[in-house]
């Protein structure tokens, strides 16, 4: 880590802080415009830029020690697997479905839960009998 | 003496790596909430849009600005600690914790209002129950409550660090300050993700 002056540190942090507040104003401003799907796209992109700014400038992911960087990337990767696989399964449910077939008609249940269609199944006595 | 020996530098790197491993597991912890939100947003877009419009955009924006500012104060504290500027580091930590407390107070006020407006999911829910709006508020209250717990812990950690800095006679505890800073920034990052998810879903119908 290079030795820096206090003024330099304050100036750098202030720049990032102002950029973050600017991005916040931008995301709220665009959210008030009727842009349809673009609202979601812009919100996501701006949030990602804010996360990257905080990660690089405040969490010091650009320091010379590279293992935390690897840890952050791996964590995001596993989160994306978690989200991606579940959502892709949900979104593709309607693409290839098995045609619906009605269940086989069964006779009504007799007393004691014995199914008339399967007489070989033994009915267990009710508790207390 | 600042980080001039290999031992100190090595210790700082170890603490940073350990903290990142913890934060990676925390991300998995918040993951299901993101997933729950994504499921609802895709399956129940109308309910989510309606429910999101019931949240207070301006209080949410104010709180986001407060948390971003608190992160800046924490970044200042951590980076100034390398220069051993004890008094300035202490002030930044106090400012950070104070901003965290203000955030929580605003959040409590929001919860109170939403409770009074019958937006808490349940039999008295005031919105269109069949559209997924109650489900949005399940995600909303779970996520904001979980975040508030993390922030409360963060405030405690920050105040503990302030006390250590205030009382220390030798060099500042840099590894501990870095760890506290990483935790605080993580809580900020979670809110940066939650803000558009909860407050900015189709503000203009």
Q: What is the DSSP string of A8-71?
A: HHHHHHHHHHHHHHHHHHHHHHHHTS--THHHHHHHHHHHHHHHHHIIIIIS-TTSS--HHHHH
Which of A17, A43, A60 minimises the CB distance to B200? A43
Is A31 among the domain residues? yes
Give me the domain span that covers residue B81: 6-199
Number of other CB atoms surrounding residue B40 within 10 Å: 20
Counting the structural domains of chain B, the total is 1
Which CATH number belongs to the domain containing residue B146 in this structure?
Answer: 1.20.120.80
Reported ipTM: 0.92
HSE toward the beta carbon, residue B177, CA cutoff 13 A: 29
Counting the structural domains of chain A, the total is 2
Cα–Cα distances in angstroms (integers) from residue A126 to residues A107, A114, A118, A122, B150, in the given order: 21, 12, 19, 12, 52
Tokens 């808490």 belong to residue: B120
Cβ-Cβ contacts under 8 Å for A25 (sequence gap 6 or more): none
pLDDT digits (tens, 9 = 90+) for B177-193: 999 999 999 999 999 99
Burial class (CB in 10 A: 0-12, 13-18, 19+), A68: buried
A10/B76 CB distance under 8 A: yes
Q: Least CA distance to B64: which residue of chain A?
A: A24
Is A81 among the domain residues? yes
Contact B30, B146 (CB under 8 A): yes
Sort residue A83 into left (φ over 0), alpha (ψ -120 to 50) or beta.
Answer: alpha
What does the pLDDT average to over A115-122? 54
Which of B61, B65, B75 minimises the CB distance to A13? B75
Sort residue B41 into left (φ over 0), alpha (ψ -120 to 50) or beta.
Answer: alpha
**pLDDT value at B159 more than 80:** yes
CA distance B36 to B53: 19
CA distance A19 to B69: 11
Is B1 among the domain residues? no
Is A2 among the domain residues? no
Q: How confident is the model at residue A1 (pLDDT cuts 50, 70, 90)?
A: very low
CA distance B3 to A128: 78
Q: Which of B196, B201, B202, B204 is best to mutate for the A interface (most A CBs within 10 A)? A: B196
CA distance B205 to B203: 6
Question: Do residues A54 and A80 both lie within one domain?
Answer: no
Is A112 among the domain residues? no
Is B120 among the domain residues? yes
Q: Least CA distance to B2: which residue of chain A?
A: A3
What is the three-class DSSP state of B164? helix
pLDDT digits (tens, 9 = 90+) for A43-72: 999 999 999 999 999 999 988 778 899 999
Tokens of B77: 């504290």
Is B204 among the domain residues? no
Q: What is the longest distance spanned by two Cα atoms in chain B?
A: 64
Is A24 among the domain residues? yes
CA B107 to chain centroid, in Å, comes to 12
pLDDT of residue B128: 86
Q: Least CA distance to A20: which residue of chain B?
A: B68
Is A125 among the domain residues? no
What is the three-class DSSP state of A109? strand
Q: How confident is the model at residue B5 (pLDDT cuts 50, 70, 90)?
A: low
Q: Residues in chain A, how many? A: 129
Q: What mean pLDDT is reported for chain A?
A: 83
Q: How confident is the model at residue A3 (pLDDT cuts 50, 70, 90)?
A: low
Is A103 among the domain residues? no
Question: Do residues A46 and A77 both lie within one domain?
Answer: no
Residues from chain B that touch A72, judged by Cβ atoms under 8 A, are 20, 23-24
What is the three-class DSSP state of A115? strand
Is A109 among the domain residues? no
CA distance A111 to A123: 10
**pLDDT value at B99 more than 80:** yes
What does the pLDDT average to over B154-178? 93
What is the three-class DSSP state of B175? helix
Partner A contacted by B15 (CB < 8 A): no
pLDDT of residue A116: 55
pLDDT of residue A24: 98
What is the three-class DSSP state of B163? helix
Give me the domain span that covers residue A72: 64-89
Interface A-B, measured as beta-carbon pairs within 8 A, has a size of 141
Question: Do residues A49 and A83 both lie within one domain?
Answer: no
A51/B79 CB distance under 8 A: no
Cβ-Cβ contacts under 8 Å for A92 (sequence gap 6 or more): none
């Amino acid at each position: 880590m290079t030795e820096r002056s206090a003024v330099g540190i304050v100036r750098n942090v202030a720049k990032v802080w102002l950029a973050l507040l600017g991005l916040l104003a931008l995301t709220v401003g665009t959210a008030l415009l009727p842009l349809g799907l673009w609202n979601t796209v812009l919100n996501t992109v701006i949030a990602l830029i804010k996360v990257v700014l905080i990660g690089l400038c405040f969490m010091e992911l650009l320091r010379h020690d590279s293992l935390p960087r690897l840890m952050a990337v791996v964590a995001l990767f596993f989160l994306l697997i978690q989200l991606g696989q579940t959502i892709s399964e949900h979104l593709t449910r309607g693409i290839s479905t098995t045609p619906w077939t009605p269940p086989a008609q069964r006779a009504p249940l007799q007393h004691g839960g014995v199914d008339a269609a399967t007489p070989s199944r033994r009915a267990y006595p009710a508790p207390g009998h | 003496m600042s980080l001039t020996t290999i031992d100190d530098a090595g210790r700082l790197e170890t603490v940073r790596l350990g903290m990142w491993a913890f934060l990676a597991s925390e991300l998995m912890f918040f993951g299901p909430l993101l997933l729950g939100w994504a499921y609802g947003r895709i399956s129940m877009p109308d309910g989510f849009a309606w429910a999101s419009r019931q949240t207070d955009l301006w209080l949410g924006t104010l709180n986001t600005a407060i948390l971003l500012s608190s992160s800046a104060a924490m970044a200042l504290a951590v980076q100034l600690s390398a220069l051993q500027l004890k008094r300035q580091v202490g002030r930044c930590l106090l400012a950070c914790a104070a901003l965290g407390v203000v955030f929580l107070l605003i959040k409590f006020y929001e919860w109170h209002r939403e409770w009074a407006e019958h937006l808490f999911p349940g039999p008295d829910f005031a919105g269109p129950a069949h559209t997924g709006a109650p489900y949005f508020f399940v995600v909303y209250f779970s996520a904001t409550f979980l975040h508030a717990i993390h922030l409360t812990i963060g405030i405690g950690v920050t105040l503990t660090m302030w006390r250590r800095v205030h009382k220390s006679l030798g060099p500042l505890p840099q590894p501990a300050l870095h760890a506290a800073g990483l935790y605080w920034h993580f809580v900020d990052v979670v809110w940066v993700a939650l803000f558009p998810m909860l407050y900015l879903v189709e503000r203009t119908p």
